[in-house]
A and B are shown apart, each in its own frame.
Chain A
Amino acid sequence: MIEIISEKKCIGCNQCVSVCPTNVFDRVEDGIPKIARQSDCQTCFMCELYCPVDALYVAPEAETAVFPAEEQLESRGLLGGYREKVGWGPGRQPVSRHEGMYQLALKTGL
């Protein structure tokens, strides 16, 4: 479930509020969004993917809150890690274009 909106990084663009399919966040007047309904989170990682400054972290645990520490996630390179792998963001190539996609299909039919 969604665990973190980094106060340090968030620029208050509210993109996560818009894209969350299950409406987990609330806009806050003159502030950064808040996680208002964590238990409605379906752990789809879309908010994290759409965050332009890698300020969000969705923990893999779908049923339970795990309260991770931001500093540790940061040091493990997990903030923004998914966006990097999908290839979104300036200077990146979408993974959908990756030649490995075709090689995988050739080898496995997947």
Chain B
Amino acid sequence: MSEARQWDGLNLEADVLVIGGGPAGAWAAITAAQNGSSVVLVDKGYCGSSGATAPSGTGVWYVQPDPEKRKAAKESRYTMGGHLAENRWMDRVLDRTYEIMNRLEEYGYPFPLDGNGVAYKRGLQGPEYMKLMRKLVLKAGVKILDHSPALELLADEHGVGGARGVRTQRGDSWTVRAGAVVIATGGCAFLSKALGCNVLTGDGYLLAAEAGASMSGMEFSNAYAISPIFSSVTKTAYYRYATFYYEDGTIVEGAGSTRGRSVIARNLLQGRQVYARLDQAPEDLQPLLRIGQTNFFLPFDRAGINPFTDLFPVTLRLEGTVRGTGGIQIIDDTCATEVPGLYAAGDAATRELICGGFTGGGSHNAAWAMSSGSFAGEGASNYARKLGPKAAARRLKGLSSSPLTSAPAGRPERTAEHIRAVQDEVMPYDRNLFRTEKVLAESLGRLDSLWEELRQTPVERSAAGVKGREAAAMTATARWMYRSALARTETRGMHKRADYPQLDPNQRYRLIAEGLDEITVSRQQVEEEALVH
């Protein structure tokens, strides 16, 4: 640990610091600012283009406040999620999402109009949405630091009081002292090049855990998306119109985009390439599909492939906890973590509260990002207000588990090796998708050694050092994932144990993983409340 004041560069004070500028971070920042707090938002890339939402289009869990419609919405994925969602949380996220989507219309988001000229608000186009969010964040008076990844949180014995990191395009450091911090850094997709996901390396999980926070549901971390083999575009909704084929043109029986992804994975594991063709899409629908997701067709058009008539090879790209539901444990309605002054939102926070152990499409994820972001922004703002002027006088220390140095440290090629080593444990389908005790334990042995090494590897306060911290965050994430996956000796939600292929009704609880060097996994009961009153 080192004294906070040692770093040169930009020094700022704020009531609330938000780390991450995707939808959750943007809503957290706006809500805190509208609640009267001074707010700084830092993003490792650029608030407006960073993260999984900006380059995509997404459905939104926008449901009219009609009891029947809400009931159906809550029931739709409850069983798929393994009965781990909570009614009360689904209600409050549905309420908040409804409110926010209506506000987005007022703020000028260009929704399509239905036949009666009324805005249709069940979806958002990422580029448009996040361009608007940046504008709204700035308009709310928030100071944005782009290209400013956080390297560590700052804290004293009373809790978290800021963070510091580097400005990669300026080559200097930043320090923000704040009454409260919101972690909205997204999930972890392990640099798999899933669309927009290479900034999502579990950084916030590591920051939070270094401050003493726990993870929840990290076994629900093995989402894989279908994509053309050459491409980063991991939008899977349209594969409902796909038929899957072998090279010789015969059909891959049982393969599909929703329940048949395992069949694709098993074939790929055996070295049999699988091809797709969207030949189930009726001809009159095809032009509408092109409008619905422009980015889906972009790689095909550029590669000269007509996906409705041509076969193209597919792969499954790891989306980890971006589409998976695990994340930082939150302990109350304000999205507070166990650590005073620290809040979590969006994919960085566990999404089990509304999804349980499974997420299909993005609509719940988008709803969670905006709702939990606004809950956390409000909570952090109120917390900072209570601290009052005392906040500025705190003696804060950095919490990084690896030593941070100003001297050039390590060799970049070693970092690349570390990243490859983590990927080798989490990407293979026969490790992460189809899990067994034996394989999980083997992986954990190697991941634990890697963690020990990384913990002692100095991290330079520079762009190269950021990659070193990413490697550490991914390693820590993989260890929480597999420790939790070992503890859940059943198949539930997206967590598949090949050695325990059935759901065990006695394991209807959440798993909380805690610790960095030694990880312990404990059980937490799901709040019992009837799904519908």
Contacts and interface: CB of A to CB of B under 8 A. Distances in A.
Interface size on B, as a range, is 35 or more
A21 B256 CA distance: 32
A105 B55 contact: no
B55 A97 contact: no
B295 A45 contact: yes
B113 interface: yes
A23 B231 contact: no
B127 A46 contact: yes
Contacts of B55: 44-46
Contacts of A60: 228, 230-231, 233, 298-300, 302-303
A88 to B, nearest CB: 8
A102 B114 contact: yes
A55 to B, nearest CB: 17
Contacts of A101: 112, 120, 123, 291-292
Contact of B50 (A21, A88, A97): A21
Interface string A93-109: 11111111111110110
B456 interface: no
A71 B493 CA distance: 50
A94 B231 contact: no
A62 B230 contact: yes
A31 B300 CA distance: 33
Q: By CB atoms of chain A within 10 A, which of B113, B198, B463 has the most?
A: B198
A69 interface: no
B115 to A, nearest CB: 8
Contacts of B298: 45, 60, 82, 85
A12 interface: no
Contacts of B199: 21-22, 42
A50 to B, nearest CB: 7
Interface string B79-121: 0000000000000000000000000000001111111000010
B307 interface: no
Contact of B110 (A27, A40, A96): A96
A100 B198 CA distance: 31
A57 B55 CA distance: 15
Interface in A49-69: 49-50, 59-64
Interface in A1-52: 17-23, 27, 40, 42-46, 49-50
A46 to B, nearest CB: 4
Contacts of A49: 127
Given A60-B298, A82-B294, A104-B291, A96 B198 contact: no
A10 B199 CA distance: 26
Interface string B176-215: 0000000000000000010111110000000000000000
Contact of A44 (B110, B114, B168, B232): B232
Given A42-B193, A97-B110, A100-B292, A50 B125 contact: no
B325 to A, nearest CB: 22
Interface string A63-86: 110000000000000100110011
Nearest to A44: B55
B287 interface: yes
A98 B114 contact: no
Contacts of B147: 23
27 contacts: A19-B48, A20-B46, A21-B44, A40-B198, A43-B195, A60-B231, A60-B298, A60-B300, A60-B303, A62-B231, A78-B302, A85-B294, A85-B298, A86-B294, A93-B110, A97-B111, A97-B112, A99-B113, A100-B112, A100-B292, A101-B120, A101-B292, A102-B120, A103-B288, A104-B288, A104-B289, A107-B285
3 pairs of A and B residues whose beta carbons are closest in the complex:
A21-B45, A60-B299, A100-B291
